C-alpha cells in the first residue's frame, strides 16, 4: 500500500515538476522562484490523499468477517 502510494506520488511529482516551470514561464513568472513551493505543496497534498485513499480501500480487507 505505501509502496503503491509512493510510486504514484513519484509519477505525479515528475509530471508536475516538468509542467509547472513551463507553464509559469509561459505566463511570465520566473519559474526558478515559484515552481519549488508549488511543486512541494501539490506533491505533499497528492501524497497525503493517495495514502489515505489506499488505506480506505484496504480497510474492508483488514476487518474480520
Mean pLDDT, range 17-44, rounded to an integer:
90
At 49 the pLDDT is 92
CA angle 28, 38, 8 (to 5 degrees): 125
Q: Where are the domains of the chain?
A: 2-56
Q: What 3-state class would DSSP assign to 27?
A: coil
d(CA 35, CA 20): 6
- pTM of the predicted protein model: 0.74
For 39-65, what is each residue's pLDDT tens digit? 899 999 998 999 899 889 888 888 865
Residue 4: CB partners within 8 Å, gap ≥ 6? 50, 54
Amino acid at each position: 500500500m505505501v509502496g503503491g502510494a509512493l510510486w504514484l506520488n513519484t509519477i505525479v511529482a515528475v509530471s508536475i515538476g516538468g509542467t509547472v516551470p513551463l507553464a509559469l514561464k509561459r505566463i511570465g513568472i520566473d519559474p526558478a522562484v515559484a515552481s519549488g513551493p508549488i511543486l512541494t505543496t501539490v506533491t505533499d497534498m497528492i501524497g497525503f490523499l493517495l495514502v489515505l485513499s489506499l488505506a480506505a480501500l484496504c480497510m474492508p480487507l483488514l476487518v474480520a468477517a
